[in-house]
Chains A and B, each alone.
Chain A
């Protein structure tokens, strides 16, 4: 049984004309895996992640089913959701400075997370906080626990956020763009840390890694879903996504990233820009930017359907011409 099973998730914003930002999203995350959710701004990837924790912004409504370890999360009472959030499912956000309380010592903030869910003494919680800081490879953790967030570097703050997130031994860690605000060398350290924590957990922790950077997923995810305009357009094991992509949008993203040793060769960017959710084209939502479009593409929206193996793993793709795509990394 998968750890989490998201089935037919739809997210709307109410208003005079309701706007749908996530449509018919389904995926499963297995125990002990890093599941990558990729997409550009406006793809619905963050909304999808927030809906799992019941943290959608006001005015947004989710429909569909999110089954976590046998518990249906949609429609759960706020009290019950609170007991899961931070304990069984926790989250790391993009900007560690805005997610930490600037006037409290970081050790205190970790202790707070522990005591919210566990019946332990202050002393035990303090000791546990220091050992968590050690787990996220913070040097001199006893001293750092007494620091305020502003005394720490960006990378250290993100480590503190991760320490808080894993404090209660969650089975799912949601990381939404966890390294976007960090320098490249620090980004690599944080991603390696997350990898290490997953391995050390012995299949007891899975990660939902939400990012705009496909490069991060190539090296850190087991399975990847690519989102566009609120829909999953392709979902497959990581090698399948990068070696034999089955959707023109995935190909477009890969062709947009300059690659090692390819200096001066023109990139093939995706033309145009992501349309706003209230002005999507008819039929396939990517059709207005697609290099592979035929008239039939705009007649009806394609299903997300099995699209063969191609030697790299079974995949799902939302494209009527996926079998004809012959892209290989050059």
Chain B
């Protein structure tokens, strides 16, 4: 299958100074994204999981060309998106949409819902003037809002309703790919389920693809076809969602799964939770970045950086862990 969006070896480092901001030594950098390659195929959902500092939001901004990486490339349908301009860039902006985490901060408080959703339709000239109102109403009904919402302002809506408006705005331009960066975390549980169903329904009806970024493994498992697990700016494991959740290869993935709360009161005793906190992305441990927290670390882990490789006999999966590469047999 042809990749819709292809991210290749993307890096984004931010210079920081240690100590008192102005006078600290130079040359330290925060490695937000440090060599990530992923791709999204037609009508597929790529789930991206990670904790704070894993670089998942930076990657979302790079994928949507809102942020330029220091090196590496992002290709959409075979074209480098950072080389686009004029009409081609406009077409890319239409084809790839983003939904942000906080629906309170991502809507213009002074624009009505109609104005918010009509704007992309006008910019891209997608609908004759006379039909814009009907089109906006149709988009709202796609996300479960009635036509009475048209003339209202964002402050009149709850968080879940605002997130629906954000989804309708993204849908207005019939995108090929939606990058959703933690779209549920500001919402109540019962509302989250409503939004999940809307997203799943749209994928089935329109053939769209998603990059779905979340820290909530339950939701990622539910929605994704394949999953990339990120840790400190890198992908540490990437495979089909079913295989990943059934048998995680990387100890970090296993730890994340063990930490996620389930609904079974009898499960508790068996779990093994990773120790300690995620280290700061300014000060990434040498060797395998996960080694200080890893229950399975052995000799090479604090010394040798594990490459993202396909382990023997694991078709279609890659993992960055010495347990699964040649070091295992040393």
List the interface of chain A (C-beta within 8 A of B). 40-41, 153-156, 183-189, 192, 212-216, 218-220, 238-239, 242-243, 252-264, 266-271, 273-274, 329
Contact = CB atoms under 8 A, between A and B. Distances in A.
B161 A188 contact: no
B189 A213 contact: yes
B259 A257 contact: no
Contact of B267 (A184, A219, A243, A267): A219
A184 B259 contact: yes
B15 interface: no
A156 B279 CA distance: 12
B175 interface: no
Interface in B117-169: 158, 160-161
Which 6 A-B residue pairs are closest in the complex by CB-CB distance?
A215-B261, A269-B193, A258-B222, A256-B193, A188-B259, A183-B51
Contacts of A183: 51-52, 215, 277-278
A40 B196 contact: no
Contacts of B191: 269, 273
B189 A187 contact: no
B261 A153 contact: no
A192 B269 CA distance: 10
Interface residues of B, number: 45
A185 B221 contact: no
Interface in B54-89: none
* Interface residue SS majority, chain B: helix
Given A184-B259, A219-B262, A212 B222 contact: no
B51 A212 contact: no
B265 A218 contact: yes
A252 B194 CA distance: 11
B263 A257 contact: yes
Interface string B226-247: 0000000000000001100100
Contacts of B259: 184-185, 187-188
Contacts of A243: 265
A257 B187 CA distance: 13
Given A260-B245, A263-B241, A270-B190, A153 B277 contact: yes
A329 B267 CA distance: 14
Contacts of A213: 189, 261
A259 B189 contact: no
B265 to A, nearest CB: 5
Contact of A258 (B196, B268, B277, B278): B196
30 contacts: A40-B188, A40-B190, A155-B277, A184-B215, A184-B259, A187-B261, A188-B258, A192-B273, A212-B189, A218-B264, A219-B262, A219-B267, A219-B268, A242-B264, A252-B190, A257-B189, A257-B193, A257-B218, A258-B222, A260-B245, A263-B222, A263-B241, A263-B242, A264-B200, A267-B196, A268-B193, A269-B191, A269-B193, A273-B191, A274-B188
A328 to B, nearest CB: 12
Contacts of B52: 154, 183
A252 B190 CA distance: 7
B192 interface: yes
A215 B257 CA distance: 13
Nearest to B224: A263
A159 B215 CA distance: 21
Interface in B181-230: 188-194, 196-197, 200, 215-219, 221-223
B193 A219 contact: no
Contacts of B189: 40, 212-214, 253, 256-257
B248 to A, nearest CB: 12
A154 B280 CA distance: 11
A17 to B, nearest CB: 20
Given A40-B189, A256-B190, A263-B221, A185 B265 contact: no
A147 B242 CA distance: 44
Nearest to A268: B193
A218 B266 CA distance: 8
A260 B216 CA distance: 12
A183 to B, nearest CB: 4
Contacts of B266: 239
Contact of B218 (A216, A219, A254, A259): A259
Nearest to B51: A183
A186 B192 CA distance: 23
Given A219-B267, A256-B190, A188 B262 contact: no
A218 B277 contact: no
A193 to B, nearest CB: 10
Nearest to A262: B222
A184 B200 contact: no
A152 B263 CA distance: 31
A238 B218 CA distance: 21
B263 A258 contact: no
Contacts of B190: 40, 252-253, 256, 269-270
Given A184-B215, A258-B196, A260-B221, 18 more contacts: A40-B189, A154-B52, A155-B277, A184-B51, A184-B259, A192-B273, A212-B188, A214-B189, A218-B262, A219-B267, A256-B193, A257-B193, A258-B222, A263-B241, A267-B196, A267-B197, A273-B160, A329-B264
B263 A214 contact: yes
B260 interface: yes
Contacts of A40: 188-190
B35 interface: no
B188 A239 contact: no
A226 B218 CA distance: 21
Contacts of B278: 153, 183, 185-186
Contact of A154 (B192, B245, B277): B277
A34 to B, nearest CB: 12
